[in-house]
Amino acid sequence: MIGATLVYSLLSGTELEKAGPNLGDYYALIFFVLCGTSILTSFNGLLMLFLGIEIMSIPLYILTGSDKLNLKSNEASLKYFLMGSFSTGILLMGI
């Protein structure tokens, strides 16, 4: 996962120009996604599964809607957030 994240960071050079002065925020969100996937792949109990999913998904919601001028990006972020909220609720009712 770390290797894939490094390759992604290296290949997203043109997209990083859009981030402008918020480049550190972009890398911090990618780092939190990496932490969430690391927790998700090595969970021992259902609580760690839930925490891994949430640590991974919240930065992904932010990254999905990071292009504020693009209406499709905003719509995708809202739909992704609603889908994640409902699936989290169903997961917690199952636990």
The model's pLDDT over 53-82, given as tens digits with 9 standing for 90+, comes to 899 999 999 888 877 788 888 899 899 999
CA distance 9 to 52: 21
Query: What's the domain range around 32?
Result: 2-94
This prediction's pTM: 0.78
Task: Report the number of secondary-structure helices (H) and strands (E) in the chain.
Answer: 5, 0
Q: Convert the pLDDT of each residue in 3-28 to its tens digit.
A: 877 777 777 767 777 666 777 788 88
Q: How confident is the model at residue 91 (pLDDT cuts 50, 70, 90)?
A: confident
Q: How many domains does the chain have?
A: 1
- Say what the pLDDT of residue 19 is: 63
Tokens of 32: 């939190």
